[in-house]
A = this chain, B = another copy of it.
Amino acid sequence: MVDEQDFLAAYDPRAYPSVAVTVDVVALTIRDDALHLLLIQRGQPPFEGHWALPGGFVRPEEDLTAGARRELAEETGLGGAGLRRVHLEQLGSYGAPDRDPRMRVVSVAHLAFAPDLPDPAAGSDADEAIWLPVTALTSRQLAFDHGRIIDDALERARSKLEYTPLATRFLAAEFTISELRAVYETVWGHPLHAGNFHRKVLSVPGFVESTGASTERGGARGGPRARLYRAGDARLLHPALLRPAREETVR
């Protein structure tokens, strides 16, 4: 069971064939009531012209999450203050031996939830980064195994909204219950009952807290001014805000 390489590596990991480690980020935001993610069109082979997640090699002195935060900052043009409202978590690692034709590359994928951000400045990095609606993904060619990473990320995002208050990270610091509901409807992909959602959000301890203020105007198409809330101090929703039953996905 113990081969020569393992034996050497036990004393000195440098004796083992090297692997490159990258961090990739699935950055999600909501624009015009549609879920968007940040993609970059590749300028060189492999997969030249295909779309890829923002990412790059981990630097020697930085932690994995720090690398992801750096990549996100580079591609969005966001500074330290702006990044603070962005949620970033590790999604998982992807390391199939043939996922990069050049050499063995293990990618540590991350997932980010961001409020609506301006379009990336074209000159901030060498490549062209854009916010693409997830519904437009099928028409784009994706590089490497990024299609699978994105699928996993979207499912994680849907799931996270159920038991964490992270939906608020898609919104400004102050928001209305209806705006929060729109986040859920966009990420989950189906409408929710306004009254029941309202009741549920206010009943979960620490989900949101009232600012006391209201919006300046009513809704664009009518309706009264809405009360404003900010994110509460809960890290988990209890009881959770569950998606309606989805029998198909269960088996």
Residues of A within 8 A of B (CB): 1-2, 5-6, 9-14, 16-21, 44, 56-64, 74, 90, 92-97, 100, 102-106, 108, 124-126, 205-206, 233-236, 238-240, 242, 245-247, 249-251
Contacts and interface: CB of A to CB of B under 8 A. Distances in A.
A102 B15 CA distance: 12
Number of copies of this kind of chain in the complex: 2
Contacts of A17: 60
A1 B2 CA distance: 43
A13 B250 contact: no
Contacts of A206: 250-251
A106 B64 contact: yes
A231 to B, nearest CB: 13
Nearest to A232: B251
17 contacts: A2-B125, A13-B20, A13-B102, A13-B103, A14-B20, A14-B102, A16-B57, A19-B21, A58-B95, A64-B106, A92-B92, A95-B108, A106-B108, A234-B251, A238-B245, A239-B242, A239-B245
Contact of A93 (B18, B56, B93): B93
A13 B100 contact: yes
A110 to B, nearest CB: 10
A48 to B, nearest CB: 11
Given A14-B20, A18-B19, A235-B251, 16 more contacts: A1-B124, A5-B57, A9-B56, A13-B103, A18-B20, A60-B104, A62-B97, A90-B93, A92-B92, A93-B108, A95-B108, A205-B247, A205-B250, A236-B249, A238-B250, A240-B242
Contacts of A92: 90, 92-93
